Amino acid sequence: MQAAIKARSNAYAPYSNFLVGCALLLENGTIIHGNNQENAAYPSGLCAERVAIFAAGANYPGVSVVKMAITAGPVEGDFEEPVPPCGACRQSIAEYESRQSSPIELLFMGTSGKVARSKSLGDLLPLIFDRNYL
């Protein structure tokens, strides 16, 4: 979670002013950082979770993701509610769980307060759409 907090500090979110940091623990012990990257053309930005998981896939192909830690909240003030991944990120994480045939534990929090835990993305997104439907 500390790596996710550090990643959050480097987020680029001048439009939403909502910073998100993510850190992945790979099975080889490597930690990958990601943060949200916004763009004036809103659909062109990318969430922290997808920045991190796509970086892991691009730079460490075949290495499983064991855990994902996420922290999120506004630039100003405190946010104590745990912030889970958005729908698009859930689908992307689901693809990686399916691809690696093992769960990814998710830990998520606001800027402070309690940390929520999910043993697998499947707990947050039941009835996952994956390559078996194609």
- The encoded tokens of residue 5 equal 């907090």
Give me the pLDDT at residue 48, please.
98
Which residues, listed in sequence order, are joined to residue 7 by a DSSP beta bridge? none
Structural domain boundaries enclosing 7: 2-133
Give me the pLDDT at residue 13, please.
97
Q: What is the DSSP letter of 132?
A: G
49 is catalytic: yes
The residue length of the chain stands at 134
Give me the pLDDT at residue 33, please.
98
Pairing of strands 18-26, 65-74: antiparallel
Query: Could you report the average pLDDT of every consecutive run of 10 residues in the chain (134 residues)?
Result: 97 97 98 97 94 98 98 95 95 94 97 96 86 82
Identity (one letter) of the amino acid at 56? A
Number of domains in the chain: 1
Give me the pLDDT at residue 64, please.
98
Residue 37's domain is classified under what CATH number?
3.40.140.10
Catalytic residue among 38, 49, 81, 97: 49
